[in-house]
């Protein structure tokens, strides 16, 4: 049975009966949906490269438990900055979203909030993100601020290039640099390699995601890697995930990780292979499942780095 999203205010690609729809006060629900609090997968995908980098930096520092305070700060930062970024994206894309079946139920095109109200909410979230960033060292603060141009440019890329996922990867994986900088107050080659790996990972999972909208995108003239690759998508995914996995391995071993990390890396390889093998680009539901499964991929990598760091002093 299909759901009438226009009457319920729910969003088409959110999990049914999520916590926002069930428990959030009615006046707050449109804003929670703007920030994607009902769809936390994007927060995980933004957060996990940050946590990878923090764990990687701890390994390079000799191992042990990474700073729980930093892990917490980056979690809060990922929640609010992903929310601010999605709100900004929805403001910019409000006319496009109204023409795409999956997105026309979002708060702005469906009339639940105005663009002005959304902008005020975005500023509020950004101020919370700034408060989090200011808890870090000076180098990390400057590095964090430098990502804003990428964030600002991303929503416009689908209008001018078939590679908007590349710009998303550049912005979404900035935490791979920032986590290391928050620990060491500088950068080194392992986080740079991790950043490249994260970009390749994003190119893979967001191409899968983009296949949900490819028919509508083609009709309205919006570009994506899904449209560019078409039936060759699986071959491109093999390339992207291979670059991601090789980069993660190089970064991990370059920072001093060992066999525990290697075990987790092999499991991550199997997970990526499962995604590629079971992909059906003409099945939107399957694409969404595989896209969401990248949270598990990222957690596997993080737990491998964390366990390696904890066991290093033993």
Q: The CATH number of the domain where 167 resides is what?
A: 1.10.357.140
pLDDT at 23: 86
Domain of 96, in residue numbers: 31-311
pLDDT over 90 at 103, yes or no? no
Is the residue at 3 inside a domain? no
- Report yes or no: 61 and 312 within 8 Å, Cβ to Cβ: no
Is the residue at 23 inside a domain? no
Is the residue at 22 inside a domain? no
Assign 94 a pLDDT band (cuts: 50, 70, 90).
confident
Is the residue at 16 inside a domain? no
Write the pLDDT tens digit of every residue in 69-85: 999 999 999 999 999 99
pLDDT at 5: 47
Is the residue at 19 inside a domain? no
Across 97-111, 155-169, 176-190, 199-213, least confident range: 97-111
pLDDT over 80 at 4, yes or no? no
Number of domains making up the chain: 1
Write the pLDDT tens digit of every residue in 171-216: 999 999 999 999 999 999 999 999 999 999 999 999 999 999 898 8
Is the residue at 2 inside a domain? no
Is the residue at 169 inside a domain? yes
Mean pLDDT within 261-265:
98
d(CA 21, CA 9): 9
Comparison of pLDDT for 190 and 19, the residue scoring more? 190
Kindly state the percentage of the chain with pLDDT values over 70. 95
Scanning the chain, the segments in alpha helix (DSSP H) are 5-8, 19-23, 29-34, 41-60, 68-92, 94-97, 115-133, 138-145, 148-157, 164-172, 175-184, 189-210, 214-220, 225-229, 233-255, 259-278, 284-292, 294-311
Mean pLDDT within 275-284:
97
Is the residue at 103 inside a domain? yes
User: Nearest CA to 234 among 290, 294, 164, 194?
Assistant: 290
Other CB atoms within 10 A of residue 115 CB: 12
pLDDT over 80 at 279, yes or no? yes
């Amino acid at each position: 049975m299909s759901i009438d999203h226009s009457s319920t205010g729910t969003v088409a690609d959110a999990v049914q009966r999520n916590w926002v729809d069930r428990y959030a006060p009615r006046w707050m629900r449109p804003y929670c949906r703007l920030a994607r609090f009902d769809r936390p997968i994007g927060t995980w995908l933004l957060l996990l490269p940050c946590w990878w980098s923090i764990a990687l930096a701890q390994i390079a520092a000799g191992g042990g438990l990474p700073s729980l305070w930093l892990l917490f700060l980056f979690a809060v930062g990922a929640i609010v900055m992903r929310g601010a970024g999605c709100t900004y994206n929805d403001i910019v894309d409000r006319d496009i979203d109204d023409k795409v079946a999956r997105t026309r139920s979002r708060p702005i095109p469906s009339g639940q909030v105005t663009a002005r109200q959304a902008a005020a909410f975005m500023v509020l979230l950004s101020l919370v993100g700034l408060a989090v960033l200011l808890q870090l060292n000076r180098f990390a603060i400057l590095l964090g601020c430098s990502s804003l141009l990428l964030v600002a440019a991303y929503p416009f890329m689908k209008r001018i290039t078939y590679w908007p996922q590349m710009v998303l990867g550049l912005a979404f994986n900035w935490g791979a640099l920032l986590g290391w900088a928050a620990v060491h107050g500088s950068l080194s080659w392992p986080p740079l390699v991790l950043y490249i790996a994260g970009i390749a990972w994003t190119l893979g999972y967001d191409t899968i995601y983009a296949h949900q909208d490819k028919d509508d995108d083609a009709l309205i003239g919006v570009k994506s890697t899904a449209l560019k690759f078409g039936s060759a998508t699986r071959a491109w995914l093999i390339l992207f995930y291979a670059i991601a996995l090789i980069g993660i391995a190089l970064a991990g071993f370059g920072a001093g990780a060992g066999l525990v990390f290697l075990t987790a890396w092999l499991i991550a390889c199997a997970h990526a292979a499962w995604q590629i093998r079971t992909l059906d680009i003409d099945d939107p539901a399957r694409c969404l499942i595989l896209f969401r499964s990248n949270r598990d991929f990222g957690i596997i990598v993080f737990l491998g780095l964390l366990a390696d760091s904890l066991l290093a002093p033993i």
